[in-house]
Amino acid sequence: DSGVTQTPKHLITATGQRVTLRCSPRSGDLSVYWYQQSLDQGLQFLIQYYNGEERAKGNILERFSAQQFPDLHSELNLSSLELGDSALYFCASSPDSGGSYNEQFFGPGTRLTVL
């Protein structure tokens, strides 16, 4: 158990809908990272937040947005869902923002299925 929690574990929805994925980082960690993992794309970095502030952006679609709240939990919002958005979404956390700390701790993931 990494100490990172994600809810829900599974989510099934229809095309065109909007969903929110939630992540609570390990106690004391200030950075949260979101990743998408699909069979054909591998693990893709989406976005990083540090202490409520966006710090880095990867391959995140405009239909997706994220935020980190004062209690440090984070939410990933996915809208106008398409079949291709079906994937495992992982959240990870680390104590700081930059290169001085190297290990990220991954949550168990949310499996999103878009029908």
Partner 1 sequence: GQNIDQPTEMTATEGAIVQINCTYQTSGFNGLFWYQQHAGEAPTFLSYNVLDGLEEKGRFSSFLSRSKGYSYLLLKELQMKDSASYLCAVRDGGNYGQNFVFGPGTRLSVLP
Q: Which stretches of the chain bind partner 1, using CB under 8 A? A: 2, 31, 33, 42-45, 48, 50, 55-58, 90, 97-100, 102-109
Q: Smaller CB distance to partner 1: residue 19 or 90?
A: 90
Residues 6 or more apart whose Cβ sits within 8 Å of residue 19? 11, 13, 77, 78, 81, 112
The one-letter amino acid code at 110 reads T
Q: Which of 40, 71 has the CB closer to partner 1?
A: 40
CB of 80 to partner 1, least distance (A): 25
Nearer to partner 1, 48 or 74 (CB): 48
Contact at 8 Å (CB) between 89 and 42? no
- Closest approach, Cβ 77 to partner 1, in A, equals 20
How far is CA 55 from each of CA 38, 74, 114, rounded to the nearest angstrom?
A: 24, 14, 29
